[in-house]
Structure formats: C-alpha cells, structure tokens
Structure 1
Amino acid sequence: MTHLPPSEFTLAVRHETATLTVMIGGELDYGTSGDLLNEVSQQLTAGQPPPADVRLDFRELTYIDSSGLTALLMIHRRTSALGATLHLDNRPARLERMLHLTDVLDHLTAPPTRAGGWQPEEDDGLTEAGMT
C-alpha cells in the first residue's frame, strides 16, 4: 500500500466589493479547521461594513472530516448573524457527499435570517481553541 503525504492546508483570501472569498486547499480536518474559522472570523470583523456575501471556494480541497463540517457550521452562524450569505463553491465529491448525508447543505447556504448579532467576543460555546 502506498502512503501519500498529507496535503498541505492552504487559505487564500480575496476581497471584492461586498464579497469575501476564501479559497481552501488541502485537508480541512481537526488540525486545520480552527485556522479556517479564525481567518474567516477575522475577515468578517476587519472592515466596515461586513461583506454581503462570503464565498468559500473548495476547488483545491482534498479531504474534510467532521471538524471541518463543524467549522462550516460555525462560519454560517457568524455570517448569518452579520446578514451575509454563505456560498460553498466548487464542492468536491467528498464534501458534497458529507453535506448531503448530514442534510446541512440547505441550512449552510440559506439566506441570513437576522443581522447584527455576532461579535467575536461572544461566548457561543464553540471556540476556535476547541477546533484546533
């Protein structure tokens, strides 16, 4: 059996008018999901006003586990609280399968229901430290 080295985790951020795009590459798992959550959280609060759309581009994603899914749920919670719509672009088959098996795709990509609630200091019971 051939063992391949783990794929390096990468994040690249692009800001356009009212849109934040985060390109995710490699393995989104227990060891890296906190990095994604931290980066998106920082980007959401870095500028005024917050973006209307947050696009996560998974074109280079090679693996995702339940910790990665938890990070996506937390990102949705934060984007929705700010009134931003989350988009999950270029989903590979592995991610697509996970989203359908857990029945969260519609939840993650639904338009936000309220705005202005999330602040980075808020204790929501799921911290970035618990993700890493």
Structure 2
Amino acid sequence: MTHLPPSEFTLAFRHEPATLTVLIGGELDYDTSDDLLDEVSRRLTAGRPSPADVRLDFRELASIDSSGLTALLMIHRRTSALGATLHLDNRPAHLERLLHLTAVLDHLTAPPTGTEVHQAEEDDGPTGADVI
C-alpha cells in the first residue's frame, strides 16, 4: 500500500466588488480548519463593504474531515450574520458525499434570513491572526 504525504493546505483570495472568493486546496482538517475560519472571518470584516456573496472554491481540495465541516458551518453562520450568501463551488466527490451524508448542503447554501445577524457575532468572539 502506498502512503502519500499530506497535501499542503492553501488558501487564495479574490475580492470583487460584491463577492469574496476563497480557493481552498489541500487537506481541510483539524490542523487547518481554524486557519480557514479565521482568515475568512477577518476578510469578511476587513473594513470594506461586506460582500453579498462568499464563494468557497474546492477544486483543489484533497480531503475534509469533521473539523473542516464544522469550519464550513461557522463560515455559513458568519456570512449569514452579514447578510451574504455562501456558495460551495467545484465540490469534489468526497465533499459532495460528506455534505449529503450530514444533510447540511441545503443549510450551507440557503440565502441568509437575517435572524442570525447579532447572535453569530456574540457567540463567536474575536477572530484570529492573518494566516494563509
């Protein structure tokens, strides 16, 4: 059996007038999920107008575990609090399978309702450092 080394976790960001796009590569897991959550949270509140859409692009995602899924749920909570819609683009088969097994795909991609606005900010506290 061949053991491959872990894929390096990478994040790249593209800001357009009303859209924040995050390109996610490598392994989204216990070791990297906080980096994703912290960096997306920081960019959502970085002094420019909040985006109407946040697009997470998974075309380079090697794997995801339950910590990665938790980070996606927290990102959804924060985007909804800002009134932004979360999009999960270019989902590989393993991510698609996880989203369907856990029945969270519709929740993650639903338009914001506005009821979460202040609750998410109160529950989450400050965000972390600028880690890419």
Q: Say yes or no: TM over 0.5.
A: yes
- Quote the offset at 1:87 in angstroms: 0.1
5+ residue gaps, structure 2, are: none
CA distance in 2, matches of 1:106, 1:91: 14
Q: RMSD across aligned C-alpha pairs, in angstroms?
A: 1.6
CA distance in 2, matches of 1:124, 1:14: 25
What SS is found at the alignment partner of 2:123?
coil
Residue by residue, what CA displacement relative to the aligned partner does 1:55-114 show, whole Å, maximum 9, x if unpaired? 000000000000000000000000001000000000000000000000000000000000
- Quote the offset at 1:15 in angstroms: 0.1
What SS is found at the alignment partner of 1:123?
helix
What SS is found at the alignment partner of 2:63?
strand
- TM-score when scaled to structure 1? 0.89
What SS is found at the alignment partner of 1:2?
coil
Residue by residue, what CA displacement relative to the aligned partner does 1:31-50 show, whole Å, maximum 9, x if unpaired? 00000000100000003320
State the partner residue of 2:43.
43
State the partner residue of 1:111.
111
State the partner residue of 1:24.
24
Which amino acid in structure 1 is aligned with residue 3 of structure 2?
H
CA distance in 2, matches of 1:47, 1:6: 35
- Quote the offset at 1:123 in angstroms: 3.4
5+ residue gaps, structure 1, are: none
What SS is found at the alignment partner of 1:46?
coil
What is the total number of aligned residue pairs between the two structures?
A: 125
Q: Percent identity, aligned pairs only?
A: 82
CA distance in 2, matches of 1:48, 1:93: 34
What SS is found at the alignment partner of 1:100?
helix
Which amino acid in structure 1 is aligned with residue 70 of structure 2?
T
Asked if residue 85 in structure 1 is aligned to residue 85 in structure 2, the reply is yes
What SS is found at the alignment partner of 2:41?
helix
- TM-score when scaled to structure 2? 0.89
